Each structure stands twice: as C-alpha cells, then as structure tokens.
Homo-oligomer: A and B are copies of this chain.
Amino acid sequence: MPRDRIRLKSLWDRITDAEEAALHVRDGMTVGMSGFTRAGDAKAVPAAIAARALHDPLKITLMTGASLGGNVDRELTEAKALARRLPFQADPTLRSAINRGEVMFIDQHLSETVELLRSRQMGPVDVAIVEAAAITEEGGIIPTTSVGNTATFAILAEKVIVELNLSQPAALEGLHDIYIPTRRPHRDPIPVLQPESRPGVPYIPVDPAKIAAIVVTDRTDSAASILPGDADTTAIAGHLTEFLQSEVRKGRLGPSLSPLQAGIGSIANAVMQGLADGPFSGLTMYSEVLQDSTFDLFDAGCLRFASGSSITLGPERQRDVLNRLEHYKPKLVLRPQEVSNHPEVVRRLGVIAVNTALEFDIYGNVNSTHVGGTHMMNGVGGSGDFARNAYMSIFVTKSLAKGGTISSVVPMVSHVDHCEHDVDILVTEVGLADLRGLAPRERAATIIRNCVHPTYRELASDYFKAASARGGHTPHLLEEAFSWHLRLRETGSMLPRQTVLA
C-alpha cells in the first residue's frame, strides 16, 4: 500500500521509521517543516526529534509555513529543542517560552520567509521534513492539505525527509500548483492572473538523491477549533455584508465583488459564512487558509473558485471534504504561501482582505499580535501581505473582550502591526467605520461613533477631545495613551471603577 504511493521505485529502500529518520536532524541545524495552520504538517518525525531531545539534548531553528497541528511545537518546546522558531506559531506552551525569552521567535510576513532563504539572508536549510500524499515517478513530492513553505524548504534543503501519510487521500494529487518565482534580479512576472491560474506543476520538484528517508504515517490533520458564530459575529457579518452591498449599488464592485481573503480564526470564518446571506454570486477567494466557510460558500452556490495555501477544517468538515475531494477539486487550488500571499498578485487581483484585529485604536492602527503590547499571541501571519496591497483592507473584531473588562478599541494600540495607512474599514458588532479618504481626526470620530462599545464610548470620546485640544495631525496625550492598558493591569478592567458595564 505505501509502495503504491512511491512511484519512483528506487526510493523504496529509503523507507524507515521516524526515530531513524530523526537522526538526520542534529544539534544546531535549521529544519524546514511542512505545515500551515494545522494542515499538512509532518507528524511523526518531529515527535521523534522531541522524544530524542529529552535524553540527547539538541537545539534547532525550526521554520514552517505557519502554525502546526498536534503537539509538535509543545513537545519540541518541552524538550528544549527549539532555539529559534519562525515565521508563525499558535501553541500555548511555545508561546509561553517565547514570552519568557527562551525561544527566539521571528514573527514574519508569511510571504517573505522563502525570499530571505533564497537570497541567503537567512538559512541555509539543513533538513526539510515534509508530509506527502505520494511521490511521483520522477521523485516529485505531492503535498497534502497545505503547501505553505514546503516546496522551497525541500528545494533548498541539503536533505529531505518525507512523511508519506496514508490517511491523506490520494485524490489530493492535482490539487496543488507549485510555482516558484524565478531568481531576482531577473524575475519574471508571477503568471497568476486570476484565482484559478495554474502556472506551476502539481508536485514539488526535488532531486530524488536528496530524499534521505521516507516514513509512513497515518495520522489525520488536527482539526481546527473554530468556535461557532454568535450574536456578535452575526452582527459583524451583517455590517460587512450590508456595506459590500452598498458598494455594489454604487457601482464600485460587481455582484461577484473582488477576490476575497479571510484571515484564520472564528470571527473571520463567521464573517465569510455571512456572505452567503448577501446577494452575491460568482464569488472567488484568493486567500491563504481555506476554512469551513469556504466550503459553506461552495455549498451555498455563491463561491465559484478558491485559491489558498492550506485547507484547515473543523472535524466534520474535514471528513466531509476529504471524502468528497473530487467534488470540490475543480474549484480549488493550493499554492506556495509566497504566491498565495504575494504582494504582486494581491494588488493585481484587487483582493478584499478581511483580517482579525486583537485591538485597534481610535485612528485605525491595528495590533494583531501582542497582548498588552508585550506578549506574543500567534504572529502577524499573512495579514500584512494582504492588508497593504489589498483593493480594500478590512479588520474585524468584537468591541469587547473578557466580559467587557477589555475594550478592543483603545486610545492608542500597545503594538502596531498595521499602521493607519493600511486600514480602510473597521468592523465590530457595534458597526462599521469606513475610513477611506479620511484624515486621522475624522477617522477617530467615525471609529468612536461606529465601532466602540457604548460602555467605552464616552471614555474614548473624552480622550479624543482632550487630545485634540492639544493639537496635532493625530492628537494624543502621550502620558495617557496607554492608561486603559495600565488600568487593566492594575485593576483587572480598562473601565474606571465607577463605570458600570452598559
């Protein structure tokens, strides 16, 4: 059975177990692993590395596409095997180690990692560990549920370890389009002219001599833990759908809008699901992660095509989609993340980008990453690749967090991932702020009116008024800019003691 999927027979003798394969990874190495938001990650060899590191200490630099599933990051962290980690993560144990300063985390725009590797500004990659659905007659690697950075890791690495995952359907073959931008300074335009363009090949071309080991596995991807929508996400989706409808009425967009990108997470997923209630048809996605909502929109008949870098689904949708892959396959393509997120393509296609903010401020600067300005949550991910180059850059969040003790809209964000220049539309369950063509003082008035929760509105308004009296293009009281964050730390709430939650 595994041998059916290894069509280059000369590779059959590379089949080994995870522990043996893991020996290729040694202290001080840089390791590139497949995996993008829990999809298509290597599962057995990383666990074997972690197990070995418990008694035979080693430290590696670990690069992936984005976050990993299972317990890989936790196990490697607990085994103290991670010296350095990039470009994204979402594991609680690793997050703590990063915030203690024990693991050096490089939080990068997801399209940039392989550019830095190719130009040797980072790297080199010693070993690539990649999950595959099959190996072709020529030794080409067929990825599984994500492409991420896998292709470039495998192409650049000294050695490649393949995890052949028999639980991933053979029908995945043909889903991927592996196009690697040519070397600068003589790079050709990236020939992606629409979401369905397929300029590449359906496998990762690697020299079979580099394939040092093949490990057969059968564990499924970790399912996404997407929360179901609630009244707030329904309201956010409603505001956004209504706004997009009005753009159609004004003739700025057609009924198929413009290709859509949606960030990872429950809120963005719910917002995308909400589009099914709009009068849109023939929608397309040019995104990085395809979540449950993508398939809901397919099933609702309003989505025509989706391009991404991974398919990350809740448990039911995962079984459903993998079982009916042939049904969805003609409408899907998975690409390397440098192509799915490429500024060139995002700008060319005119993507409508919908990403989630951790907090934003009254002028529309967005914090996507740092709790309290200091502690890393997950990473900036692809939001910067999309937001700056989008036709329209939208950020969504609930106006309150932690039972109302936190306002997601603050006087000044404690960390900036997206500056005001990159933020066109903000949406909370309270309403939508259309910031296009507005100066900061106008942005503040609009955001305070439309997005801030009523409980915090007067507080925000008072800050803005006091700051404006002092003057400036972007009025602030530097001595009070973080007063809400400080009050939260000191009292457990951003609200002054006398205020009662509305």
The 8 A CB mask of A152-172 against B (1 = contact, 0 = none) is 000000000000000000000
Most buried by B among A122, A188, A347, A391: A347
Q: How many copies does the complex hold?
A: 2
A185 and B104 contacting across the interface, CB-CB below 8 Å: no
Q: Is the CB of A101 within 8 A of B471?
A: yes
Tell me which residues across on chain B come within 8 A of A482, comparing CB atoms: 478-479, 481
A476: chain B residues within 8 A (beta carbon):
373-374, 414
List CB contacts (< 8 Å) of A351-395 with chain B: 365, 370, 372-376, 380, 384, 388-389, 391-392
Is there an interface contact between A388 and B109, defined as CB atoms closer than 8 Å?
yes
* CB atoms of B421 and A473 under 8 A apart: no
Number of contact residues on A: which range applies? Answer: 35 or more
Minimum CB–CB distance from A295 to chain B (whole Å) comes to 23
- CB of A416 closer than 8 Å to a CB of B: yes
Mark each residue of chain A from 193 to 224: 1 if its CB lies under 8 Å from any CB of chain B, else 0: 11000000000000000000000000000000
Is there a chain B Cβ closer than 8 Å to A474's Cβ?
yes
A485 adjacent to chain B (CB < 8 Å): yes
Q: Is A119 an interface residue (CB 8 A)?
A: yes
Interchain CB contact under 8 A, B348 and A121: no
The answer to whether A252 touches B120 (Cβ under 8 A) is: yes
Give the complex CA separation of A116 and B194 in angstroms: 21
A101 and B437 contacting across the interface, CB-CB below 8 Å: no
- How far is A470 from B84 in the complex, measured between Cα atoms in Å? 21
Is the beta-carbon distance between B437 and A106 smaller than 8 angstroms? Answer: yes
CA gap between A350 and B120 in the complex, in Å: 13
**Least CB separation from A338: chain B residue:** B347
The 8 Å CB contact of A188, one of B100, B119, B193, B419, is: B193
Tell me the minimal C-beta distance from A287 to chain B in angstroms.
15
27 contacts between A and B (CB under 8 A): A101-B468, A104-B438, A106-B438, A116-B436, A121-B424, A121-B436, A184-B350, A185-B194, A186-B193, A186-B194, A187-B348, A189-B190, A189-B193, A343-B389, A365-B416, A372-B472, A374-B471, A374-B473, A374-B474, A374-B475, A375-B471, A376-B474, A380-B421, A415-B474, A418-B419, A479-B482, A479-B486
What are the 3 closest A-B residue pairs judged by CB atoms, nearest first?
A: A374-B472, A189-B189, A376-B473
15 A-B pairs besides A185-B350, A187-B193, A479-B482 with CB distance below 8 A are A98-B473, A99-B472, A99-B473, A107-B473, A109-B388, A122-B436, A189-B348, A372-B472, A373-B476, A374-B470, A374-B476, A375-B473, A376-B474, A380-B421, A384-B388
